[in-house]
Structure 1
Amino acid sequence: MIARFLPLALLLTSAVSAQPVSAPWPDTLSAEAKAGLAANDARTPVPPDFKARRAWSEAVQQEVGQPRLARYGVAMEDRHIAGVPVRIFTPKTMREEGALLLNLHGGGFVVDAGSITENAAVAAITGYRVVAVRYRLLPDHHFPAATDDALAVYRALLRERDAASIGLYGTSAGAILSAELVARLRAEKLPLPAALGFFSGSADLSRFGDSVTLFADPAAAAALGKLYAGDRDPADPMLSPIRSDLAGWPPTLCISSSRDFLLSATAEFCRALDAADVPAKLLLFDGLPHAFWSYVDAPETDAAFEAMADFLRKRLERE
């Protein structure tokens, strides 16, 4: 089964997620975006060995992430919270409100493909400290290991502040985990975060929409979902929160792009939230691939981070 899910796992690794399509990049893309996508294609291929792939992904995080930390004036610290490794991002200028953001990074449940690149800009623009959970990964750890790690960190944060001052967000696999964490919090009757940023993810691991067929491998997607689920049914609402009662879910911003293989799933979840009378908004970028903000520096990436930060800041200020 591992061999079957590797193609999708490679796509879900943000730094290699410019999946091939037959059409050229549209004229609507900025020159910087086209150059960034070309540079990404020219990177050294991802090694097949899991240990080597994680080292490769960490190297990309440093390559792309360190300039972002410098650009935004954000300090990063590696620590542990509740025994779970985390990266903490502190902006140069902090807001007085004392709110905090919790991030779950992307990487196909296999690697860390976003704990730096997803967070430097968000920390700086919001003025809030960001805690990125470096949760346990496949193939050694299946569901619910990653959500257990996220829950442990969230519980620790609750001992220091109200849930109303916590915002939660994630990209790709991190978006999936963010939704699963909210489902877990509801099941355990714990207070929910003030906001959810659901950035290019899926809330239903039991099936995949049209965009997976267009831009990825449906069989590999299904195999990866089953591997992640372990001995649990992928339709379990703890794995696929869209199958639960969504009334009372935190206000949610969904972001995707028109060449994102998780576009269908992102839009479907946003529509389901709206049907449950949850404040939900879908923001769509034209012509860009999956989770482009994690590895391409361009005006479109700046716009995506501004939208993420604006949403999270406003919801936390409202609470």
Structure 2
Amino acid sequence: MRSTKITLFMLTTILASTALAQPTDHDGPTFDGDGTVNVPAFRLPPSALSSQEARQAQAMRGRIPVGEMTSNETPDINSRRAQLDRMMSPRVAQMKALYPVDIKDGTIAGIRVRIITPKDGDFDPERILVNLHGGAFTVCWDSCSLVESLPIASLGKYKIVSVDYRMAPENRHPAGVEDAAAVYRQLLNSYKAEHIGVFGCSAGGALTAQLAAWLPANGLPQMGAAGIFGAGGVRFQSGDSAYVTAKTDGSFPGPAEDGTLEIDMTRGYFDGSDLDDPVLSPALHADVIKMFPPTLITTGTRAMDMSPAIYTNSQLLKADVESTLIVGEAMGHCYQYNPALPESRDAYAATVKHFRKHLD
């Protein structure tokens, strides 16, 4: 009898708490029977927890057409690539001024690469980093390879090899991960696997996760450490953040209500692929994710990649893989591309610290 009274009391308390938690004005969210939340329009001010520089950058967003860098309005891929490089050229120049390096073009395993070293020639001869650039598996080799690599090479005193992997629309998966693995395999002739780190942002972050899944499955030793930035070990535009940031950041379109993508930014790169397979979504497979190296993951509270990043970190920790997650307050997708932000500089420092610790 006493147990029944306690149960009834707990149930009454829960029901009362639930009732109190329901919105009392018409501007609050409403909830469908299947769990769908109907969110009203609202204003999102600059975060008081972000840096002054970040708030100033946010204020400038009104002058930039939303989604300009990720739209597919220019259908010809070569024109689109040239257009994006022109847009990114001031940022590349800024990075070169802040982080002096030497840049040489070359080939490894028949694949075009860019070799980046500190300007003073002082770098660790026994350790090397591989960069897999961002750009939705379609664009940004010329620009993103530099924007992502320069600060890490200069600050960390590393030699970095950035890979010009095959992209869409000319190619399909697994072209990119095959190229990354070919370069990695060649580097094993000169470096120990535990002394090779791999990192990338956006598509390059996703490709880093793919490579970490690909190597053990294809008889190659695992890399020493990974950096998955602006991405996760599951497909892009999955989870809550894809929907939320489509409305709060606007750089990327959100999925349709049924979860399908209205715009394929990869231009068919994954056509014919199972996006849940162990290479494309290793975080969905416990036996694959447990083989990952120590991993640093970065995202932002206004980044569409936040959910994949958080989920991947959780799965790595569950698998007893060392993982560090950095979520930049009020930061958008691949915020490290802007070196003027203290949050970006913190991310560079964390990246250098991560590879120094785990490539030892």
TM-score (norm 2): 0.76
User: Which of 172, 187, 192 lines up with 1:162 in the alignment?
Assistant: 192
Q: Check the 8 A contact 1:61/1:115 in 2, yes or no.
A: no
Alignment match, 2:130: 102
Q: Check the 8 A contact 1:200/1:290 in 2, yes or no.
A: yes
Displacement, 1:95?
3.7
Alignment match, 1:13: none
CA distance in 2, matches of 1:281, 1:192: 18
1:264-283 to 2 correspondences below 5 Å: 264-283=307-326
Structure 1 stretch displaced more, 286-295 or 215-224? 215-224
Q: Check the 8 A contact 2:299/2:305 in 1, yes or no.
A: yes
CA distance in 2, matches of 1:265, 1:121: 25
Q: Check the 8 A contact 1:200/1:266 in 2, yes or no.
A: yes
Aligned residues: 297
Q: Return closer, same or farther for 1:129/1:270 CA change in 2, 3 Å cut-off.
A: same
Alignment match, 1:173: 203
Q: Check the 8 A contact 2:47/2:55 in 1, yes or no.
A: no
Alignment match, 2:274: 233
Alignment match, 2:13: none
**5+ residue gaps, structure 2:** 1-41, 247-253
- Structure 1 residue matching 2:47: 3-state secondary structure: coil
Larger Rg: 2
1:1-319 to 2 correspondences below 5 Å: 22-37=43-58, 42=63, 45-46=68-69, 47-49=73-75, 50-91=77-118, 92-112=120-140, 114-205=144-235, 208-216=238-246, 217-218=254-255, 219-220=260-261, 223=264, 227-244=268-285, 245=287, 246-295=289-338, 297-317=340-360
CA distance in 2, matches of 1:286, 1:33: 9
Q: Return closer, same or farther for 1:295/1:206 CA change in 2, 3 Å cut-off.
A: closer
Displacement, 1:296?
5.1
2:276 corresponds to which letter in structure 1?
A: A
Displacement, 1:110?
1.7
Q: Return closer, same or farther for 1:221/1:263 CA change in 2, 3 Å cut-off.
A: farther
Q: Return closer, same or farther for 1:89/1:183 CA change in 2, 3 Å cut-off.
A: same
Q: Return closer, same or farther for 1:141/1:314 CA change in 2, 3 Å cut-off.
A: same
Displacement, 1:194?
0.6
Q: Check the 8 A contact 2:134/2:200 in 1, yes or no.
A: yes
1:34 corresponds to which letter in structure 2?
A: R
Q: Check the 8 A contact 1:206/1:240 in 2, yes or no.
A: no
- Structure 1 residue matching 2:329: 3-state secondary structure: strand
**5+ residue gaps, structure 1:** 1-20
Q: Check the 8 A contact 1:170/1:199 in 2, yes or no.
A: yes
CA distance in 1, matches of 2:64, 2:108: 34
Displacement, 1:285?
1.0
CA distance in 2, matches of 1:162, 1:136: 26
2:108 corresponds to which letter in structure 1?
A: I
Q: Check the 8 A contact 1:200/1:256 in 2, yes or no.
A: yes
Q: Return closer, same or farther for 1:42/1:205 CA change in 2, 3 Å cut-off.
A: same
Displacement, 1:101?
0.3
Q: Which has the higher contact order (CA 8 A, sep 6+)?
A: 1
1:179 corresponds to which letter in structure 2?
A: A
Displacement, 1:37?
4.5
Q: Check the 8 A contact 1:206/1:225 in 2, yes or no.
A: no
Tell me the C-alpha RMSD between the 2 structures.
2.3
